[in-house]
Amino acid sequence: MSLATANAKVLGSVVEPESLSPELRQALQPRWASFLNKAGVALVLAVLLGVSYYPAEVDNWTFLITDADNMAVFISDFLRPDFTDLGLYVEKMIETVQIALWGSVLSIIVGVPCGLLSSNNIAPLWIVQPMRRLMDAARAINELVFAILFVAAVGLGPFAGVMALFIHNLGVMSKLFSEAVEAIDPRPVEGIRATGASRLQQVIYGVIPQVLPLWSSFSLYRFETLVRSATVLGIVGAGGIGFTFYESFRAFQYDRAAAVIVVVVIVVSLIDILSSQLRKRLI
């Protein structure tokens, strides 16, 4: 019996299971394996959450209620931001954007060759694996940790923030760039190779044109991310608006801290809008 005939019988009348086609019987059978897999994943997640409940001190959520008076003072000050020193906040925010800009540009410039050398379809394995592990190390360490190291190395100031963002973002950009390169269509590269072109010419004329729109999109997105990351580097003395926010918060001047947050949110939102428009034009 064909599958169409079996379907017609199912729709028209009650059909005995023996009269159904093997394909239809298989489709009607409960998928216990898929259900058990999902249940297993849910159980593991529940166990992990339960085990980490007390180590993560999630039980302290009651402090949000028992310390209601402190929370009320905290929230009331934050709802009345003090923009008396708005000029200083804007100046420091511009410095933060400049730190993020330099960190982004340096990581993109160095990330292009590193991304190519991390791609299995471009470089040999003995180059790909060490390069990937090096980029993993750069990506695994947080920008704040790099900022502390560079403040100790080059002193306080924005340059330490630039270097911290550059090193960390280099690991991220090389990962994104290499994944885009590994997903290219190999036929244009093979055609260029057939003309006798060198390996460098194959990359320039066969690989780069295919990945350039994606690389541009990744670069813009990471710039947005670095602006947000740069806002906290000032806490350890790496320049930007972070130090201003930290000093206000530490002095319990929550109204000034709220004003800093408002400036950060507005600037980051403007950058997000502008980069979104640029991405639409590039892709």
Dihedrals phi, psi of 138, to nearest 5 degrees:
-65, -35
pLDDT at 4: 47
Closest Cα partner for 174 from 127, 109, 100?
A: 109
The domain locations on the chain are: 86-282
Q: Which amino acid is at 214?
A: L
Q: How far apart are CA 201 and CA 206, in angstroms?
A: 8
Distance CA 255, CA 162 (A): 29
* Contact status, residue 172 vs residue 139, Cβ threshold 8 Å: yes
pLDDT string in tens for the chain (283-residue length): 444 454 444 444 444 555 566 666 666 666 666 777 888 888 999 998 888 888 887 777 777 676 666 666 667 767 778 788 888 889 989 999 999 999 999 999 999 999 999 988 888 889 989 999 999 999 888 888 999 999 988 888 899 999 999 999 999 999 999 999 988 888 888 888 888 888 888 888 888 888 888 888 888 888 988 988 888 888 888 888 888 888 888 887 888 888 888 898 899 888 888 888 887 776 6
Quote the pLDDT of residue 113. Answer: 92
What are the respective helix, strand and coil percentages of the chain, to the nearest 5?
A: 80, 0, 20
Check the CA dihedral 195-196-202-205 and report its sign.
negative
**Interval 49-77: pLDDT, tens:** 888 888 887 777 777 676 666 666 667 76
Q: Are 214 and 268 in contact (CB under 8 A)?
A: no
Which one, of 191, 190, 189, 195, lies nearest residue 209 by Cα?
189
257 vs 245: CA distance, rounded Å: 5
CA distances from 58 to 46, 49, 79 (A): 15, 10, 27
End-to-end, the C-alpha distance of the chain in Å comes to 51
Instruction: Give the CATH superfamily of 86-282.
Output: MetI-like (1.10.3720.10)
